[in-house]
Amino acid sequence: MPYEFLEDISRADVAFEATADSLEELMRDAARAVTETQVDIGKVQKRRERRISVEAENVEELLYKFLDELIFIKDTEQLVFCEFDVAVEEKAKTFRLRCRARGEKLHARHQPKVDVKAVTMHHFFVRREGGRWRARVVLDV
């Protein structure tokens, strides 16, 4: 399972853990978990494509900024995404993420669940363990 929601990290909020073979897949799966927190991701259609680009000094900051950008786009453009093509490159101690996200405007047919307010730093990590990438994220909802 690429991501799993955790029950007892924080009672008022939503926590998930993602594991993946590559950093790109980890970013993609975490992005999917953010969509899944807010709507039924299976009901989101690929009507629009939006390019997203973030830069950071380390992989944790990269994931944080990427997810923060998705929340920003949800509030400002009312777009939610179901598919994410992610590329990550590291150059001169800077990580750059480029993503083509596909989805559409929020709609009642997506069976909305709960609005994500913010990515918290509570128990937040991105690390490489036994050859795989693992991340834990708590979302304030």
Partner 1 sequence: MAVAESIRRIDDYVWEIGPDFKEGMRVPARIYASEALVEKMEEQVLDQLTNVATLPGIIRYAYCMADAHSGYGFPIGGVAAFDVEKGVISPGGIGFDINCGMRLVRTDLTLADVKPKLKTVVDALFRRVPSGVGSKGALKLSRNDFRAVVERGARWCVDRGYGWDEDLERTEEKGSMGGADASTVSDRAMERGFKQVGTLGSGNHYLEIQVVKKENIFDEKAAEAMGIFPGQIVVMFHCGSRGFGHQAATDYLQRFLRAMPGYGIKIRDRELASAPFHSKEGQEYFSAMKCSVNMAFANRQVILHSIREVFSTVFGKSAEELGMHMVYDVAHNIAKLETFEVDGRRKQVLVHRKGATRAFGPGRDEIPACYKALGQPVIIGGSMETGSYLLLGTTKAERETFGSTAHGSGRTMSRSRARKMWRGDKLRGELEARGIYIRTASFPGLAEEAGGAYKDIDQVVGSVANAGISKKVVRFVPIGNVKG
For partner 1, the closer of residues 29 and 36 by Cβ is: 36
In the chain, the DSSP E strands lie at: 3-6, 14-20, 48-56, 79-91, 94-105, 118-119, 125-129, 132-140
CB of 22 to partner 1, least distance (A): 26
Residue 8: how many other CB atoms lie within 10 Å:
6
Give the residue, chosen from 50, 96, 98, 115, that forms a contact with partner 1 under the rule CB under 8 A.
Answer: 115
Q: Pairing between strand 3-6 and 14-20?
A: antiparallel
Identify residues 66-95 at the interface with partner 1 (CB under 8 A): 68, 71-72, 74-76, 78, 80
Residue 112 binds partner 1, judged by CB under 8 A? yes
Task: Tell me how far apart the alpha carbons of residues 91 and 102 are, in angstroms, rounded to a whole number.
Answer: 27
For partner 1, the closer of residues 28 and 74 by Cβ is: 74
CB of 59 to partner 1, least distance (A): 15
SS3 128: strand
Instruction: Name the β-bridge partners of 52.
Output: 99
Length of the chain, please? 141
Size of the site for partner 1 (CB under 8 A): 37
For partner 1, the closer of residues 24 and 70 by Cβ is: 70
- Could you tell me if 23 and 59 are in contact, meaning their C-beta atoms sit under 8 angstroms apart? yes
Give the residue, chosen from 47, 48, 109, 117, that forms a contact with partner 1 under the rule CB under 8 A.
Answer: 117
Q: Interface with partner 1 by CB under 8 A: which residues?
A: 5-14, 38-39, 64, 68, 71-72, 74-76, 78, 80, 106, 111-115, 117-122, 124, 138, 140-141
